[in-house]
Homo-oligomer: A and B are copies of this chain.
Amino acid sequence: MSVTIKDVAKKAGVATSTVSRTIQDSPSISEKTKQNVRRVMKEIGYRPNLTARGLVNQTTQTIGVILPVSQGQGFQNTFFLSMIRGISKACNEKKYMVSIASGTTEEELLESIQTMAEGGRVDGFIVLYSKKDDPIIEYLHQEKVPYAMIGKPYKYENEMLYVDNDNVIAGKDAANYLLQLGHKKIAFIGEDAHQMVIRERLKGYTQALEDAGIKVDQELILDVTLPEAAYRRKMEQLFGNNDFPTGIVASDDLIALNMSYLLSGFGLKIPTDVSIIGFNNSIFAEKSRPELTSIDLHTDSLTSQTVYQLIELMVGKQTLAVKIILPHQVIERQSCIRNDN
Q: Which residues of A contact B (CB under 8 A)?
A: 1-2, 47-52, 54-55, 58, 60, 62, 65, 67, 70, 74-75, 77-78, 80-82, 84-85, 88-89, 92, 95, 97-104, 108, 111-112, 114-116, 118-121, 224, 257-258, 260-262, 264-265, 269, 283-284, 287-289
Q: Which among A1, A80, A85 has the greatest number of chain B C-beta atoms within 10 A?
A: A85
Chain B contacts of A103 at CB under 8 A?
A: 88-89, 92
Assuming the A-B contacts A74-B283, A100-B98, A100-B100, are A108 and B92 also in contact, with contact meaning beta carbons closer than 8 angstroms in the complex?
yes
- Measured in the bound complex, the distance between the Cα atoms of B54 and A48 in whole Å is 15
Q: How many copies does the complex hold?
A: 2
The 10 closest A-B pairs by CB, nearest first: A264-B264, A50-B119, A74-B283, A47-B118, A88-B102, A261-B261, A77-B78, A81-B81, A99-B99, A51-B54
Chain B contacts of A112 at CB under 8 A?
A: 88, 92, 97
Q: Which residue of B lies closest to A104 (CB)?
A: B89
Chain B contacts of A50 at CB under 8 A?
A: 115, 119-121
Contact with A98, one of B55, B99, B120 (Cβ below 8 angstroms): B99
Contact A111 B92 (CB under 8 A): yes
Contact with A99, one of B78, B92, B97, B265 (Cβ below 8 angstroms): B97
A–B Cβ pairs within 8 angstroms, 11 of them: A50-B119, A51-B120, A62-B121, A74-B284, A75-B287, A81-B81, A97-B115, A100-B100, A224-B287, A257-B258, A264-B269
Chain B contacts of A114 at CB under 8 A?
A: 47
Contact B58 A1 (CB under 8 A): yes
Contact A99 B102 (CB under 8 A): no
Contact B97 A85 (CB under 8 A): no
- Measured in the bound complex, the distance between the Cα atoms of B3 and A120 in whole Å is 12
Contact A55 B52 (CB under 8 A): yes
Contact B121 A97 (CB under 8 A): yes
Closest chain B CB from A216 CB (angstroms) = 26
Closest chain B CB from A175 CB (angstroms) = 24
Chain B contacts of A99 at CB under 8 A?
A: 62, 97-100
Contact with A100, one of B75, B84, B224, B269 (Cβ below 8 angstroms): B84
Closest chain B CB from A96 CB (angstroms) = 10
- Measured in the bound complex, the distance between the Cα atoms of B51 and A129 in whole Å is 28
Contact A55 B58 (CB under 8 A): no
